[in-house]
Structure 1
Amino acid sequence: MALVPRLFLISHASTDAQRAVAFPRDEPVSGRGRRELVRATAPVADVALTAPELRTIETATALGLSPTVEPLLRDMDFGRWSGTAMEEIPAASLAVWLADPEAAPHGGESIHDVIVRTGTWLASLMDSPERIVAVTHAAVVRAATLCALGAPASAFRRIDVRPLAVTRLDGKDGRWNLRLG
C-alpha cells in the first residue's frame, strides 16, 4: 500500500487583534491564547512547519514542535488595514472586499491571491509520504479547505476557523481530501 501525505493544519492560538475584530499585525499570542495552549496538543508528525509570524511560531513552540518556517503559510497581507479595527475601515471599501474575492482595496492580497498561494503550496506536498503539521492562520486554513473541496472563492468566509482548530487533509490520486473526525 502506497503511503499518502497527511497534512494537519493548526490555526494559531488567540490574539488581541482577534478579540478586537481588527486586521492583525505581526503580534504575539494573547493571554487567552496562552491559556488555550495549556490544554492543546499537536498531532504526531514527521515534519513540522510554521508560518513566519510571531503568533504561529509561539503556537508551534508551545505545542512542543520544532518547526521550519514556510513562507507560503504566511497570513493574508492586509496592506494598509494591518493593525486597524474593522469598524474603522471605510464602509464602501470594506463592502467591496467582503463581496469580491479578487478585490484588495487595502493594497495587500486578495482572497483569490491567498487561495492560489495556498494551492501552490499544497501541490508541492502531494508526492510526500510524510505526516506534516503546519501551524498557520485561519485564512490559509480556509484557502486549503477550498482547494481540497474544489469550492469557489466566494465560499471563503463561510468557513469558520477557531484558534487551535486542527484541519486534516489527506493526499490521494493527485488531490487533497478533507478528513473529519
Structure 2
Amino acid sequence: MDTRLLLVSHASTAAQRTGRFPADDPLDARGLAEAHAARARLAMPDGAAIFVSPAVCARDTALALGLSASIDANLADMNYGKWQGRRLADLAAEAPQDLAAWTRDPDAAPHGGESFSQLVKRVGAWLDASNSTTNLAATVSQPRHVVAVTHAPVLRAAIVHALGASPMVFAHIEIAPLSVIELRHSARGWTWWPAPH
C-alpha cells in the first residue's frame, strides 16, 4: 500500500530566533501569527492521519494550522541533553571543541543526548514502521495520507533515511520553520518528492 507523508516543521520559536537549543518552548505571538498565516498556504490532504510531536511548539503549530493531531513520541525533537535551553553563543565560548565535534561528526553527542546518527535511526524506524500491517496509518484509505507536525532535525533525518544517505549530509540540509517535505513509500521504498504548494 502506497503512503504519502507530509512532514511539517513547526513555526518559529523565540528560542530559535535567539540562537538557543529548544527547551519545550511554546510558540510566542510571532510564531502563532506565522502558523495562522501559513494555514491557507499549506493544503493538507483530506482524510489524512495526523500526528504531532509531544513538544508544545509542535502542538501549538498543529492547532494553529487547524489540524486535530494525535501525539506520537517518535516525532519528538532531537534530544539535546545538557545543552537544552542553552545559547549556541555561550556554548561556543565555553565548549568550542564539543560544539565543533557535534556539528562535524554525526556520531558525536557531547551534550549527553542524541547524536545525528541516532536521530536518523529513530526517524528511519518510525518511517519503516509506518508501512507495516499494523502501522500508524492503517485506518486511512488507499493511498494512505499521513501528516506529521514535528521539528526541523526530524525532517532532515527523514530525508537522509529516504535517500539512504550518510548521516554526514545532515548538516547540509536546511529546514526553515513551517517547511513541508513530502515523502512517498511504494514498492521501491521511500522517495523524496517536491513539496506540495
Unaligned runs of 5+ in 1: none
Cα distance, 1:65 vs structure 2: 0.9
Cα distance, 1:20 vs structure 2: 0.8
SS at match of 1:39: helix
Q: Percentage identity across aligned positions?
A: 40
AA partner of residue 146 (structure 1): V
Q: How does 1:52-63 map to 2 (within 5 A)?
A: 52-63=54-65
SS at match of 1:9: strand
Q: Tell me which of 9, 23, 26 is aligned to 1:25.
A: 23
Q: Residue 140 of structure 2 aligns with which residue?
A: none
Unaligned runs of 5+ in 2: 138-142
Cα distance, 1:170 vs structure 2: 0.6
Q: For each residue in 1:97-143, what CA deviation from the matched residue of structure 2 results, as whole angstroms up to 9, or x when unmatched?
A: 11110110000000011000000000011245420000000010000
Q: How does 1:80-99 map to 2 (within 5 A)?
A: 80-89=82-91, 90-99=95-104
TM value normalised by structure 2:
0.87
Within 2, Cα distance between the matches of 1:103 and 1:147? 18
Cα distance, 1:150 vs structure 2: 1.1
SS at match of 2:155: helix
Q: Residue 4 of structure 2 aligns with which residue?
A: 6
TM value normalised by structure 1:
0.95
Alignment length (residue pairs): 179
SS at match of 1:143: helix
Within 2, Cα distance between the matches of 1:18 and 1:158? 18
Give yes or no for contact 2:83–2:111 (8 Å, CA) kept in 1: yes
TM superposition outliers: structure 1 runs of 4+ over 2 Å: 126-129
Q: How does 1:23-172 map to 2 (within 5 A)?
A: 23-41=21-39, 42=42, 43-44=44-45, 45-89=47-91, 90-127=95-132, 129-172=143-186
Q: For each residue in 1:143-179, what CA deviation from the matched residue of structure 2 results, as whole angstroms up to 9, or x when unmatched?
A: 0001111111011011110111010001011511111
